Amino acid sequence: MSGLEVRGVSVGRGGLPICRNIDIVAPRGEVTVLLGPNGAGKTTLLEAISGILPASGGAIALDGVAVERLRRERRARLGLAHVEQGRAVFPGLTVEENLMAVTRSRAVIERALDLFPRLAARRRAKAGLLSGGEQQMLVIARALAGAPTMLLVDEMSLGLAPIVVRTAMPVIRRLADEGVGVLLVEQFAALALEIGDRAYVLNHGEIVYAGTCTGLRDEVDILRGAYLTSPSSNGPRAES
């Protein structure tokens, strides 16, 4: 299969099991949405997939190649990019220079900028002067400058206004339409489900829903039970 296949993966932190026996399929050309409440283990799972953390069991394949024993850099060279939660830009460098830190290929830089017209318009601006949304776009553009075939995105909306997230979502969709596989962890469940194809819900380290995004939109109990969002809201539930 082209894309990512996670089979029976378990991963822990500091000797404690966090995710158990996880099965996820995220094909190329699709957006796969991974939802779940705070502390469910979403970040931990992404870190096991990209090789930041070792999986304690199971298999991870990228385009049919077993990668679970490979170091992070090897997985990246095979086309796996991970936009980590809270990853920052180089504030003193311009937009273009941030991209040139990853690649010297003009064509690849232009393609990454082509996806983000707002960044293209500000290519000579210092990254530290961009808005929060623009900086997040630059983080994603930088990951794309490595020409990945599979992109893991962890909470790109963290700290962003819903309106900004709404403008970024179509870019994620377009990437998938161009053939990249995307595994998207997102707090704005409703927005993610609008652009996604398949969906998984992780709760207490286990998958409690695997199916289509359309199907999950109807599963109000699963969405509520996972403390994701009330059916009428687009954003994360406020802490009470």
Residue choice 1, 8, 13, 132 for contact with ligand ATP (CB under 6 A):
13
Minimum gap (Å) between residue 40 Cβ and ligand ATP: 4
Window 177-206: residues binding ligand ATP (CB under 6 A): none
40 or 81: CB nearest ligand ATP: 40
Separation between Cα atoms, residue 61 and residue 64, nearest integer Å:
5
Q: How many other C-beta atoms are found inside a 10 Å radius of the C-beta of residue 35?
A: 29
14 binds ligand ATP (CB under 6 A): yes
Shortest Å, Cβ 44 to ligand ATP: 3
| Cα–Cα nearest to 151, from 71, 22, 23, 49 | 49
> Smallest distance from the beta carbon of 107 to ligand ATP, in angstroms?
35
Is 157 among the residues that bind ligand ATP (CB under 6 A)? no
| CB-nearer residue toward ligand ATP: 19 or 141 | 19
Least Å distance, CB 63 to ligand ATP, is 25
Task: Kindly tell me which of 53 and 144 has the beta carbon lying closer to ligand ATP.
Answer: 53
DSSP bridge partners of 181: 150
Nearest to 175 by CA among 197, 201, 202: 197
Residues 33-72 within binding reach of ligand ATP (CB under 6 A): 36, 38-44
Q: Residue 30 or 155: which CB sits closer to ligand ATP?
A: 155
Task: Identify the sign of the CA torsion 59, 62, 64, 69.
Answer: negative
Contacts 24+ apart (CB under 8 A), 218-226: 223/35, 223/189, 226/35, 226/36, 226/37, 226/40, 226/201
Q: Are 145 and 103 in contact (CB under 8 A)?
A: yes
- Considering beta carbons, is residue 28 or 42 the nearer one to ligand ATP? 42
Paired residues of 126 in beta bridges: 94
Choice from 4, 18, 24, 99 touching ligand ATP (CB under 6 A):
18
What are the two backbone dihedrals, phi and then psi, of residue 117, each rounded to the nearest 5 degrees?
Answer: -55, -35
Residues in binding contact with ligand ATP, number by CB under 6 A: 11
Chain positions contacting ligand ATP, by CB under 6 A: 13-14, 18, 36, 38-44
